[in-house]
Amino acid sequence: MATGGQRIVEDVPAAVLAERIDQAAAALRKARYVCVLTGAGISSESGIPTFRDALTGLWAKFSPEELATPEAFERDAKLVWDWYESRRRLLREAEPNPGHYALAELERRVPKLTLVTQNVDGLHQRAGSSGVLEYHGNILRDRCTLEQIVADRSEDSRNGLPRCAACGGLLRPDVVWFGEPIPRGPMLGAAAAAERCDVFLSIGTSSLVYPAAGLAETARHAGATIIEVNPNVTELSALAQFALRGPSGRVLPALLAAVAD
């Protein structure tokens, strides 16, 4: 059992993985309503490091949980903004990968699908997925700290910090920081999808951050079949009927192909 984020690898022979993919595909073929939850792992093949992957370069001495907090922003807004700008630069170079495209296609193959993502990178939308619930916000939007609304930037930024074009207030990235509540729409939409789905697909998440990590438990208690796509064993693995061990950029296209068979 995975504990506290260290990586536990389960070597699954190709034949066993293929068999599990066929069984998971059979569950998806029968599904009326599919709920999908994605985490950083689905974007790692697009060159976006996961949260488990230690921060690199000048950020190596920080942990994401340290920088992604209102306290850190209060303490040193410039430091936090520099971190987000570095992630935005990386994102501008990134493209959706076959895992993102497979999910956009799966949405067209099943009667109803709700995609909930913990990722703030917008890659699902760029791959063609619709109605994506951004559970932790989006790094490419700015929010005004005074009006608490998504805002445009004013030309003049004071001491290198972006300002709201409407009121001059300090801007922050439109993401959910640790200790902050999930935005109402995505929170209610995700909870309803988890309660009503008959298949819950958990992809590329370590299932350590709450309340996102609780959605699979909600689905399981409502009788849904849990399918996990992750090369490593996670906190969720014991709850999953089908654990598909491999990178989502390879497993999801194979799963989609099996659904179509």
Name the closest residue to ligand BV8 (Cβ). 41
Nearer to ligand BV8, 45 or 142 (CB): 45
| Annotated catalytic residue 124 | no
Residues paired with residue 203 on neighbouring β-strands, in sequence order? 38, 229
Among 100, 124, 136, 221, the one annotated catalytic: 136
Q: Which is nearer to ligand BV8, 32 or 78 (CB)?
A: 78
In the complex, least distance from residue 31 CB atom to ligand BV8, rounded to whole angstroms:
21
Distance of CA 46 to the CA centre of its chain: 13
Beta carbons of 226 and 23 less than 8 angstroms apart: no
Based on the number of CB atoms within 10 Å of its own CB, is 20 exposed (0-12), middle (13-18) or buried (19 or more)? Answer: buried
Closer Cβ to ligand BV8, 87 or 163, answer by number: 87
Residues 199 and 34: their CA atoms lie apart, in Å, by 5
- Residue-wise DSSP of 209-239: STTGGGHHHHHHHTTPEEEEE-SEE-TTGGG
d(CA 141, CA 177): 14
Nearest to ligand BV8 of 17, 165 (CB atom): 17
Contact, 203 vs 24, CB < 8 A?
A: no
From the CB of 66, what's the least distance to ligand BV8, in Å? 11
Question: Which residue, 127 or 229, has its beta carbon nearer to ligand BV8?
Answer: 229
The footprint of ligand BV8 (CB under 6 A) covers 39-42, 44-45, 50-52, 65, 68, 118, 120, 136, 175-181, 204-206, 208-210, 212, 229-232, 234, 247-249
Per DSSP, helices labelled H in the chain are: 14-30, 64-67, 70-75, 77-93, 98-109, 123-126, 184-196, 215-221, 248-260
Least distance from ligand BV8 to the Cβ atom of residue 213, Å: 7
Q: How far is the CB of 156 from ligand BV8 (least distance, A)?
A: 26
| Nearest approach, Cβ of residue 32 and ligand BV8 (Å) | 26
Instruction: Please list the active-site residues.
Output: 136
